Amino acid sequence: MSDQEEESPRQDEFGQRIIKLKELTPLEKEYFEKARQRHKENIYKDQIVQGRKFEGVAFISKPAEIIFKDFDVGKPHTIIMQLTNVSYTFNSFKILPLPESVRDFFELIYTPPGRVSAGMSCPITVRFTPQLNDDIDVQLQCQAETGPFQIHILCTSKKAIAKVEQPIIDFGKVILGEDSTLILKIQNLGALDTDVFIRSAKGMDLQTIATESVSQKSNRDRPFDEEGILPYLKQLKFQRQHILQGYSMLKIPIQYIPAEVGPFSLPLTLYYENFLHSPPCQIEIRGYCTEVPIYVEKQIYNFQICLFNHIYREKIVFFNRSQNAMKIQIQTPKETKDFFEFNPKLGYIQGNSKFEIWVKFNAERQLQTICQRFFKDNVIDVPFKLIGADQKMPVPFNIVAQMTMATLQITPARLDFGKLFDGQGAKRAITFENLSDLPQELAIYPLPKEISITTDLVPLRLLPKQKFTTDIIYRTQKVIGISDRQDEGILKCKIVSGTISTKEIRIPYTCEISKCPLEFSGLKFDIPVQQIDEKYSTTIDIKNISQRDIIIEFFLPFYELCGLRMAPMVQQIQRDQLIQVHLEYDSFFKKLGAYTLQELKEKYENDPNNNFELRLKIRYEEEERKKREQEELKKEEEMATKGKGAKKEVKKDQKKPEKLTKAQQQQLEEEERRQAELEKLKQEEERLKREEFEKQFDSAKELRNLGGTLVEFNKPEDLNYSQHYSWLIPCYFKYTDMPDNAKQVVYLQISTVTVQKSLLLSKTIIDFGEVAVGIRQTKELTVFNQTPFKAELKMQMLPISCGFTILNALRTIEPSNKKSLIVQFQPTEDQPFEETLKLYCDHAAVSAKLKGIGVRPEVKVVPENGLISVGGVVLGEYAERTFKITNVSNFPIKFQLISKARGVQNSCGTEVFQFIPQEAIVNAQQEITCKVIFKPDRVSDKFYDLISVHVPNQKSEKRVFIWGYCYNRQAYVNIYQPYNLIPQINEINKKIEFPFDQLKLKDEEKVYTYLNNKIMLEFEKLKEEDNSRKIVIGSCKLLDPKMEKPVNYEVILSKDEKYFVCDNQKGAIQPGNEVVITFTFKPPQPDQFIASIEALKKIGQWKETKIELKISGGFLKPGVQDNISYELILKAFINQI
């Protein structure tokens, strides 16, 4: 900022220069304050006259206040006041200026009097010229010598100031039916008029509430009358809007007309047009409605349901609340004078007492015609009045009665049971419909002995307009000597309507009875109570007692609805023949729904096993399909045989679909949406139809059409829920030589009861599996009693030969307790066993399947052929072999190895073959390994043992044949004689060593050793197919491998030998191995001429050849010769001369 700008003087808003005064110094401030205080103390001074000090206001104004009331703007108003000196002596005054805001509206005109003596006055004219329509309330400040004083100036404009004298309007007690009027007073303290509005406590217009509440009755979400004052407004009458004049009193009459007994309180608000100076004022209208002095005990005397042509009486009681007696009289409509009679009709009722009048109602049939205007839907409603002398409001009361007739309709009027056979029955439905408005009781009594009613309700009570359908059953009685007859009679039905009307209706019936050519073991079968998931079966005997063949056919409802099965369903019965029909019931809860029959029909129609026509159709279609396939195959073969140069037909390219335009695409999408909406509407319509059909579905009626009835007890989720079905099963029959339209029918009644599971078993199937014949096996079965009753268990006897037995006794089971039963299975044969164990008590039955298979134990030996060769051992050593025994049964078995035949035995008496284990138990499907120890104490090649694997009750005996050799040295020679099959006992010697023991031969001489070195091999005579002989050369396995040595052998044949050939003449044998050497006989070709001569065919000679066999090596005991030569003698027959 520049220096020039800083030096420029400051100016105010009007452009005047602002001069800044020099600030006072502290000393100057102190002097200035002291001077101000001295001036203030010297303004006023005390006035003392004759020792008395004046105190108070020195000048009094008359009037004391200057009031300009209801001024007009712009119009001057003048008031002259006298200002009087009321001090003790001379005094002077000074009028100070008025406040600046009102100074321009007032003008004070007076002559300053100077000092005024005591008691003297000075007139002052005050001229007020208002410029604004606002009230002015100021003080005119004045100063006297003795002190200041004030004069009040009040200027008020024209306004309306309303005031309510009494805001609570209390009507006190008002009798119901009368009215009372009080005055609401409103005073206007102002000069202006104003409109007065009476509104609700929240400021809503009362007329608007009344009109809008009527028009918005349907708007339940937010009613217009939120304060709920409409019922109160209906009991008041007053004008909602008034005009209140200036400086006047407004009287508003309010009339209270009570509509209900009790206290009345309605808060309202008074609103004024000039609300700035007259704010809203709350008022309250109070009152209490009291009851009328005379009143009736009941407004409506209901005679309930009355029958025409009957007389009814009723007592009517009137009461007087007041202290004074009052004359009363009953007014009646003129149409009712012949039907209603009051006694007395005129009287006096005393104060605080009651008065009784009896009315007699004569319900003649003409009542409905003469008093038609009082009737509506067979209900008569007649208004009456009781007039009191000193009571404005009459006492109304009505007599109401529902008129009806005692009518009961029975359909059919005559019962025809048709044609029946002796010992059979028929059922006919009869419907009782109560057309009256009164309940009616009926009973058919007495009943003939042939007739019974299915309902147990005697007497039967029918409610008004109720229909009840029951069955009348006629059961024929056999009469000896009479075959065909007709029975007729009458049933007497007694009817009681209410408690005043009784009558009797007769129902005739008729029936034709003849003799049936079929004789049944029973026509009514009551199947015992079965728990769910149980089965019951029985048989029905049917005998043809006629002299002609009869064919019968049963028709059962769907199995899913009845749970019944019969076999056979169709059967031809010859004369005097008796057949049995098997009846089986599966216990489960059945339910017949609205669409159950339709679903079952579709199920069976689409099942070829149950639909013969569908089965034929499928078979025909299958044959047609095969024919078409054969024709197509034939055509393909014909095409294949045509020339290769045949031109193939070229298929023209299909045109590609044209691309849709945008409009076409939108149209297509719109059509798809429309179709989808139509499909939704169709589905919704179908759903609604199904729901409506399900609501209208009568399951009891549909069940009766199928021949069944159902009675249910308790709810399905209850433990005591049960279904009681009764089915009529038709059995159609006819003579085989009669047409189909000549068939007759007999009905079988089968009753079933299905209950919840109250007796529970821990197992419903007890499977023992495979058990060996003769072996006992037990299992535990637990029975739970879930009923609140004791269950005394009983059992149907099991067949003796079934193999099953209950070991412990049956006991009573306490509620919510259990009992264990021990079931034993002991098969007697190797076959399957199956029985049903049926347990029952007084209220339930339960069954369990007992299953088991009697088997004979079986083992398997490995090797399967049962042949075990131990080989050769050196004397003093032993060898081991193993074989396996497998238990192929499904249960453990015990086996024992028993020797059936033995060869050479040890000299010391010990066993040559030792078995470990000798006996053992093998678990199911398990195997055990048996060890065989071959430990001989003498030299022999006749060691063997035929062992039987013994298992009790086994299917087939398993045997094991074990053999071995013992020599003095490691090398051995023997004729090759293998075992292909286990030898039989009669084929082997039990004591082969016994003949040799008598000859006192050494053991070494019984085997091929240096002491016995000749081996004879003889070929069969004239058997070309058997032209070879074998020997075996072996090397024993030693316990100590270090002592083992190879065995060498050599077969020396003559160079000139032309009949015999050896396949293996020289070699070495390792320990534990054997070599089989084969010698083959090659006979010379026979002479053709000699062979043609029959007499010379079997003539020839024996040819012997000696061959040397040398053996060396192997382990040798001390003193044993190493090299041994054997002489092999080959002997064969040559067919030549």
Q: Residue 737: pLDDT above 80?
A: yes
Does domain 408-514 fall under CATH 2.60.40.10? My reply is yes
Question: Within 10 A of 691 (CB to CB), how many other CB atoms are there?
Answer: 11
Residue 368 phi, psi (nearest 5): -70, -25
* Inter-residue contact 285 to 268 (CB < 8 Å): yes
Sequence-distant (≥ 6) Cβ neighbours of residue 552 within 8 angstroms? 518, 542, 570, 571, 572, 573, 731, 732, 733
Mean pLDDT for the stretch of residues 359-383: 91
Phi, psi of 643, deg, nearest 5: -60, 150
Q: Is the pLDDT of residue 962 over 90?
A: yes
Upper half-sphere CA count for residue 953 (Cβ side, 13 Å): 16
Cα–Cα distance, 300 to 303 (Å, whole number): 9
Tell me the CATH number for domain 1013-1137.
2.60.40.10
pLDDT at 5: 44
pLDDT score of 724:
93
pLDDT of residue 920: 92
pLDDT confidence of residue 583: 93
Q: Are strands 893-902 and 919-922 parallel, antiparallel or unpaired?
A: antiparallel
Burial of 76 (0-12, 13-18, 19+ CB in 10 A): exposed
Fold designation for 48-157:
Immunoglobulin-like (2.60.40)
> What pLDDT is attached to residue 216?
56
* 238-263: pLDDT as tens digits: 888 898 888 899 999 998 888 888 89
Apex 1090 CA angle, 1087 and 1096, nearest 5: 130
Q: Say if residue 1047's pLDDT is above 50.
A: yes
> Residue 643: its pLDDT value, please?
54
For the chain, the maximum distance between any two Cα atoms, rounded to a whole number of angstroms, is 219
Q: Which of 829, 1006, 804, 1041 is nearest to 904 (CA)?
A: 1006
Q: pLDDT tens for residues 467-506? A: 998 889 888 877 766 777 888 999 999 988 877 778 889 9
Q: Is the pLDDT of residue 764 over 70?
A: yes
pLDDT at 1131: 86
142-156, 710-724, 1084-1098: which range is least confident on average?
1084-1098
The CATH number assigned to the domain with range 858-1000 reads: 2.60.40.10
pLDDT per position as a tens digit, 450-461: 888 877 667 888
Res. 274: pLDDT tops 60: yes
Query: Can you name the CATH fold of 294-404?
Result: Immunoglobulin-like (2.60.40)
pLDDT value at residue 1:
44
518-611+702-754 sits in which CATH class?
mainly beta
Q: Given pLDDT bands bounded at 50, 70 and 90, which one contains residue 1022?
A: low
Residue 4 — very low, low, confident or very high, per pLDDT cuts 50/70/90?
Answer: very low
**777-820: pLDDT as tens digits:** 899 999 998 888 888 888 888 888 888 999 998 889 998 899 99
Q: What is the domain partition of the chain in residue ranges?
A: 48-157, 162-215+227-290, 294-404, 408-514, 518-611+702-754, 758-855, 858-1000, 1013-1137
- Residue 648 pLDDT greater than 60, yes or no: no
Q: What string of H, E and C letters represents the secondary structure of 495-557?
A: EEECCCEEEEEEEEEEEEEECCCEEECCCEEECCCEECCCEEEEEEEEEECCCCCEEEEECCC
In this prediction the pTM is 0.47
> What pLDDT was estimated at residue 358?
93
The highest-level CATH class for domain 162-215+227-290 is mainly beta
Mean pLDDT, rounded, for 1007-1026 = 76
How would CATH label the architecture of 758-855? Sandwich (2.60)
CA separation for the pair 384, 342 (Å, rounded):
11
Report pLDDT for 78.
Answer: 93
What is the residue-averaged pLDDT of the chain? 85
| Mean pLDDT (whole number) for 271-300 | 87
- Condensed to tens digits (0 to 9), the pLDDT of residues 201-231 reads 888 887 777 776 655 554 444 444 556 788 8
d(CA 1071, CA 1114) in angstroms, rounded, equals: 8
Q: What is the pLDDT of residues 23-55, one digit of tens each?
A: 888 888 888 888 888 777 767 788 888 888 888
What tens digit of pLDDT does each residue of 902-924 get? 888 888 888 999 999 999 999 98
Per-residue pLDDT, 381:
93
> Which residues, 6 or more positions from 62, have their beta carbon under 8 angstroms from its beta carbon?
81, 82, 84, 121
Give me the phi and psi of 334, to 5 degrees please: -70, -25
* Lowest pLDDT segment from 615-629, 802-816, 896-910, 1089-1103: 1089-1103
The confidence band for 232, taking pLDDT boundaries of 50, 70 and 90, is confident
Task: Give CA–CA dist 903/983, Å, rounded.
Answer: 12
pLDDT confidence of residue 987 = 75
The dihedral over CA atoms of 620, 626, 629, 631, expressed in degrees to the nearest 10, equals: -80
CA–CA distance, 1087 with 762 (Å, rounded to integer): 91
Query: What pLDDT shows up at residue 313?
Result: 92
* pLDDT surpassing 60 at residue 2: no
State the DSSP code for 1083.
P
Please check whether the two domains, 48-157 and 162-215+227-290, share a CATH topology.
Answer: yes
Position 984 scores a pLDDT of 83
* Region 524-530 average pLDDT: 89
* The predicted structure's pLDDT at residue 490: 92
Residues 471 and 460 sit within 8 Å (Cβ to Cβ)? no
* Region of poorest pLDDT, from 67-81, 641-655, 692-706: 641-655
In the prediction, which pLDDT does 995 show? 45
Beta strands in 956-996 (DSSP E): 958-967, 971-975
